[in-house]
Amino acid sequence: MPVNTGGKPDISREKSAELYEKAKNYFPGGVNSPVRAFKSVYGTPLFIQKGDGCYVWDADGNQFIDFCASWGPLILGHNNAKVREKVTEVMQNGMSFGAPTALENELAELIIKNNKFVEKIRFTSSGTEAVMSAIRLARGYTGRDKIIKFEGCYHGHSDSLLVKAGSGLVTFGETSSAGVPKSFAQETIVIPLNDTEALTKAFEQFKDEVAAVIIEGIPANNGLLMQDPEYIQFLQNICKEHKALLIFDEVITGFRLGFEGAAGHYGVKPDIVTYGKIIGGGLPVGMYGASAEIMSHISPDGGVYQAGTLSGNPVAMAAGIAQLTELLRSGFYKDLNNKASEFAESIQRFATARNYKLKVFYVGSIFWLAFTDKGKIQTAEDIDPASMEKFKIMHRELLNRGIYLGPSGYEVGFISAAHTKIELEKAKRAIFDSLDVVFRNK
């Protein structure tokens, strides 16, 4: 822990710390996903014991208002009764068959009837798997090999997308993980976000070689990098011009901004869309979809192979049916997004009144607290790495005040339907007090 900054006393993490030390014997770094290790913030990871509504409790009995929401999919909150009851009902008949079930049809119909951007879909077991499959489909459909992605966008940990940019306006990707062959990364061209010149030059340099351009619907894995509608329209136009496919990775934004996600938000029709955990109520699931014509290239109809024993498993399908049915209720998104905007704007008013260098970026029910005075942050380069020191202090202060955010200043937060005005007011007060500590120690 850092020296005392005059903030709240630290909560007990004794049991979590014991569990973490034990976990180090079993897992690399003691975790099964790197950000969980709390390397970007103070203290040892919290081991969560239970969640209900907008609250989680850790192994030491500390209670927190949760804005991580299992990294977004718990749009109804933790342990939602309708999701739990549907899952429990279906589990009585078995949990995995590796064979078709009527539940797959039911969830697919629910999605396709209410989302004009897909005509046919394929369920997978994760967002990473969905994106990996979408890339393979784009390559198989176009007969081309190269993919264009953007610096600051994360699309899962498949080899060809786990790359970063080198120097220069247009560059091949360089591996950002050991174990990724350079030959894989060299099929991926990485360019800056919000740069029409870079994208134009990429298509000129690799004419007739680009299978697809992939972008997060609204980039939300490296801050909340909201793009202008004109730029998104430009992406669609240049892809059409060069007969490349436009892929929206909506693992975070899909069914979160609205039932039609970022595609509906922008009014732009991608050629392929990928979705993630939110369609399974937080259970392991993913999905990709496109027109019937493009999807006809997927095996067994076409030559692009993709499979999965747990794809469309009945437990995840049951959770998805229950959750998406709730999302389709009249006024659901209007109420949720209004609640989120009021929350974000209240924090911004407080920071502005105190002349604190903080901007609250938000869209739909997603928000990001950035220690900056920039009016817009649209690229990875716009983020000042030094600002993360302020986030570390704030994160610690918020935990001590019963507020849980994801343990990285680059991660966004999520409002759920389970957050009531009472909890949001409590959270705002905690954020105000934490910001006072941050800027008192700047």
- Our answer to whether residue 301 is catalytic in this structure is no
Model confidence at 138: pLDDT above 90: yes
Model confidence at 171: pLDDT above 50: no
Binned at pLDDT 50, 70 and 90, residue 442 comes out as low
- Our answer to whether residue 154 is catalytic in this structure is yes
Q: What is the mean pLDDT of residues 60-79?
A: 97
The structure's pTM equals 0.94
Q: How far is CA 394 from CA 7, 159, 220, 403, 405, in A?
A: 10, 34, 20, 10, 10
Q: What is the mean pLDDT of residues 407-427?
A: 97
Q: Rounded mean pLDDT of the chain?
A: 93
pLDDT of residue 162: 67
Portion of the chain with pLDDT greater than 70, in percent: 95
Instruction: Tell me the CB-side half-sphere exposure of residue 137, using CA atoms within 13 A.
Output: 33
Q: How far is CA 385 from CA 91, 112, 130, 388, in A?
A: 46, 41, 31, 6
- 345 C-beta neighbours (distance < 10 Å), count: 12
Q: What is the mean pLDDT of residues 175-196?
A: 81
pLDDT of residue 322: 98
Q: What is the mean pLDDT of residues 53-57?
A: 98
| List 20, 55, 141, 154, catalytic entry | 154
From 163, 232, 159, 161, select the one nearest 193 (Cα to Cα).
232
DSSP code per residue over 258-322: STTHHHHHHT---SEEEE-GGGGTTSS-EEEEE-HHHHTTBTTTSSB----TTTT-HHHHHHHHH
Binned at pLDDT 50, 70 and 90, residue 5 comes out as low
pLDDT of residue 170: 39
d(CA 37, CA 303): 41
Model confidence at 22: pLDDT above 90: yes
DSSP, collapsed to helix, strand or coil, labels residue 149 as strand
Model confidence at 209: pLDDT above 60: yes
- Our answer to whether residue 442 is catalytic in this structure is no
Binned at pLDDT 50, 70 and 90, residue 159 comes out as low
| List 58, 66, 249, 271, catalytic entry | 249
d(CA 392, CA 131): 31
DSSP code per residue over 193-241: TT-HHHHHHHHHHTTTTEEEEEEESS--SSS--PPPHHHHHHHHHHHHH
Exposed, middle or buried: residue 222 (CB in 10 Å: 0-12, 13-18, 19+)?
buried
pLDDT of residue 4: 57
pLDDT of residue 100: 95
pLDDT of residue 174: 53
| List 86, 146, 277, 390, catalytic entry | 277
Model confidence at 3: pLDDT above 60: no
d(CA 195, CA 238): 13
8 A C-beta contact, residue 437 and residue 6: yes
d(CA 406, CA 12): 19
Model confidence at 441: pLDDT above 80: no
List, for residues 220-275, the tens digit of each pLDDT value. Answer: 999 999 999 999 999 999 999 999 999 999 999 999 999 999 999 999 999 999 99
User: ∠ CA(93), CA(32), CA(288), 5° rounding?
Assistant: 60
- 83-327 to CATH, choices 3.40.50.2020, 1.10.3720.10, 3.40.640.10, 3.40.50.620: 3.40.640.10
Model confidence at 51: pLDDT above 60: yes
Q: Which CATH architecture best describes the domain 14-79+331-440?
A: Alpha-Beta Complex (3.90)
d(CA 315, CA 108): 15
d(CA 185, CA 172): 7
Model confidence at 183: pLDDT above 80: no
DSSP 8-state symbol, 56: E
Q: Are the folds of 14-79+331-440 and 83-327 the same?
A: no
Q: Are strands 403-404 and 163-165 parallel, antiparallel or unpaired?
A: unpaired
Q: Which residue ranges make up each domain of the chain?
A: 14-79+331-440, 83-327
List, for residues 313-328, the tens digit of each pLDDT value. Answer: 999 999 999 999 999 9
pLDDT of residue 238: 98
Model confidence at 391: pLDDT above 80: yes
**At 246, phi and psi to the nearest 5?**
-100, 120
d(CA 344, CA 350): 10
pLDDT of residue 185: 74
Q: Are strands 413-414 and 366-370 parallel, antiparallel or unpaired?
A: antiparallel
pLDDT of residue 127: 93
From 211, 212, 215, select the one nearest 192 (Cα to Cα).
215
Q: What percentage of the chain's residues is helix, strand, coil (to nearest 5)?
A: 40, 15, 45
8 A C-beta contact, residue 208 and residue 144: yes
d(CA 78, CA 282): 9
Model confidence at 425: pLDDT above 70: yes
List, for residues 102-125, the tens digit of each pLDDT value. Answer: 999 999 999 999 999 999 999 999
Exposed, middle or buried: residue 384 (CB in 10 Å: 0-12, 13-18, 19+)?
middle
